[in-house]
């Protein structure tokens, strides 16, 4: 293999590696966006669950009061 062939091969490998890095960067950005959205959704769900727990507590007290088991 002469020098020109080696340079050509190295150039091809460099281009392939460059494309792979570009794909990895794109995927990393997408993953970052997906993680951000997941965190936002999880936080919103946590708030909703807290609200539901509060409603359940209120209903529990009302049921207890209706049944005459007031403390």
What would the pLDDT profile of 19-37 be if each residue is shown by its tens digit?
999 999 999 999 999 999 9
3-state secondary structure of 69: coil
User: Mean pLDDT throughout 33-59?
Assistant: 98
Query: What pTM does this model have?
Result: 0.62
**67: phi then psi, degrees, rounded to nearest 5:** -75, -5
In the chain, the percentage of residues whose pLDDT exceeds 70 is: 96
Please spell the DSSP secondary structure of 17-38, one letter per residue: HHHHHHHHHHHHHHHHHHHHHH
3-state secondary structure of 2: coil
Residue with more model confidence, 43 or 70: 43
Residue with more model confidence, 67 or 34: 34
CA–CA dist 21, 44 (Å, integer) = 34
């Amino acid at each position: 293999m002469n020098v020109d062939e080696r340079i050509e091969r190295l150039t091809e490998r460099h281009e392939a590696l460059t494309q792979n890095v570009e794909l990895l960067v794109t995927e990393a950005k997408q993953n970052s966006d997906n993680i951000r959205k997941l965190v936002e959704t999880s936080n919103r769900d946590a708030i909703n669950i807290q609200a539901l727990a509060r409603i359940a507590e209120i209903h529990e007290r009302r049921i207890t009061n209706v049944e005459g088991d007031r403390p």
